[in-house]
Amino acid sequence: MPLTHFPPPPNIKAPPLSYATRVGDLLFVSGIPGFDDTGQLSDDFATQFGFVAATIKRILKDAGTDVAHLVKVNVLLTRAADVATMNALYADAFGPPPYPARTTCVIAQLPDPRMLIEIECVASVASA
């Protein structure tokens, strides 16, 4: 099947990756960090979460889909203390129910040590 790549915004100094790749009717979205539109990263968890969710929603929209069509989400945290806050913010940002399947884990570090969260996901996209 042919692939469609969705590149990172041109103003971001991104590593060698696409923000998302479509294959057939599935969209695989990269682990998205919480930088704002000017490339700044807040040290506040809720602020980082907000930019992660906003960026994912923009990627989904660019690919012709939305949060209601998320199939699977992986939430990567660097601090166990953020789990409860994340669940509250997540329920609001990725709702209403039914929610996609999801895995949450606390890892040692993300590529930038100031990153507190990344979210990656798989979404369904309407057939062309």
User: Which residues sit at the interface with its own copies, rule CB under 8 A?
Assistant: 1-3, 5, 7, 15-21, 23-26, 28-31, 69, 71-74, 76, 78, 80, 83, 87, 90-91, 94-95, 97-111, 113, 118, 120, 122, 124, 126-127
112 close to 15: Cβ distance less than 8 angstroms: no
Q: Output the smallest distance, CB 123 to its own copies, in A.
A: 9
Pairing of strands 101-106, 70-77: parallel
C-alpha of 53 from chain center: 6
Give the nearer residue to its own copies in terms of CB position, either 25 or 36.
25
Cis geometry, peptide bond prior to residue 16 (ω within 30 degrees of 0): no
Is 10 or 97 the residue whose CB approaches its own copies more closely? 97
